[in-house]
């Protein structure tokens, strides 16, 4: 931050440490839409005293553009939404709401246990 130090008060110990890292923060506008007529402080509702501690402030605005948004949505769907061309094959993969509900309720009844030897392996990996 601006003084390149940070003060910590924990368990009765008070100290000031050098800040050797950067702080990155993000905030959304108050009404989920940036209002260009208002100041940055009023748009993100952060007190000016806190906002003044940051050396750099960048605004990333998403301009409303239906054509671009539609192109982006189509791209994302094309990447992650690979569906069968043949509708008959696609219909076979759809399950009923009742079957899905029954499957979820059965899954909730399960209480999985981890064996001791697997537990040790997980601890070693972590």
Residue 20 within any structural domain of the chain: yes
Q: What CA–CA distance (Å, rounded) separates 77 from 70?
A: 10
Residue 9 within any structural domain of the chain: yes
The predicted pLDDT at position 112 comes to 80
The predicted pLDDT at position 88 comes to 60
* Residues 28-47 as b or e (16 or more Cβ within 10 Å = b): ebeeeebeeeeeeeebbeee
Going through 26-99 in order, the beta strands assigned E by DSSP cover none
The predicted pLDDT at position 117 comes to 81
Residue 31 within any structural domain of the chain: yes
The predicted pLDDT at position 102 comes to 93
Q: Which residues does 42 contact at the CB level (< 8 Å), separation at least 6?
A: 30, 35
Q: What CA–CA distance (Å, rounded) separates 6 from 22?
A: 12
- Nearest to 22, CA basis, from 2, 50, 1: 1
Q: Which residue has the tokens 């059965």?
A: 106
Residue 110 within any structural domain of the chain: no
Residue 59 within any structural domain of the chain: no
* Average pLDDT taken over every residue of the chain: 79
Residue 69 within any structural domain of the chain: no
Number of domains in the chain: 1
The predicted pLDDT at position 92 comes to 66
Q: By CB neighbour count within 10 A (0-12 exposed, 13-18 middle, 19+ buried), where does 100 fall? A: exposed
Question: Which pTM value belongs to this model?
Answer: 0.37
For the segment 73-87, what is each residue's pLDDT rounded down to a tens digit? 888 887 776 655 555
The predicted pLDDT at position 85 comes to 55
Judge whether residue 43 has pLDDT over 90: no
Residue 119 within any structural domain of the chain: no
Judge whether residue 97 has pLDDT over 80: yes
For 16, the domain range is: 5-51
High-pLDDT (> 90) share of the chain, %: 7
* Residues 49-81 as b or e (16 or more Cβ within 10 Å = b): eeeeeeeeeeeeeeeeeeeeeeeeeeeeeeeee
The predicted pLDDT at position 2 comes to 58
Residue 97 within any structural domain of the chain: no
The residue ranking higher by pLDDT, 19 or 46, is: 46
């Amino acid at each position: 931050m601006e003084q390149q130090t940070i003060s910590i008060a924990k368990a009765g110990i008070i100290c000031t440490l050098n800040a050797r890292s950067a702080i990155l923060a993000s905030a959304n506008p108050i009404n989920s839409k940036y209002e260009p007529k208002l100041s940055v402080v009023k748009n993100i509702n952060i007190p000016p005293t806190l906002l003044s501690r940051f050396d750099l402030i960048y605004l990333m605005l998403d301009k409303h553009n239906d054509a671009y948004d539609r192109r982006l949505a189509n791209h994302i769907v094309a990447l992650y939404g690979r569906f069968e061309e043949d509708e008959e094959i696609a219909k076979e993969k759809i399950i009923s709401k009742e079957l899905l509900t029954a499957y979820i309720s059965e899954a909730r009844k399960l209480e999985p246990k981890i064996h001791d030897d697997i537990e040790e392996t997980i601890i070693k990996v972590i």
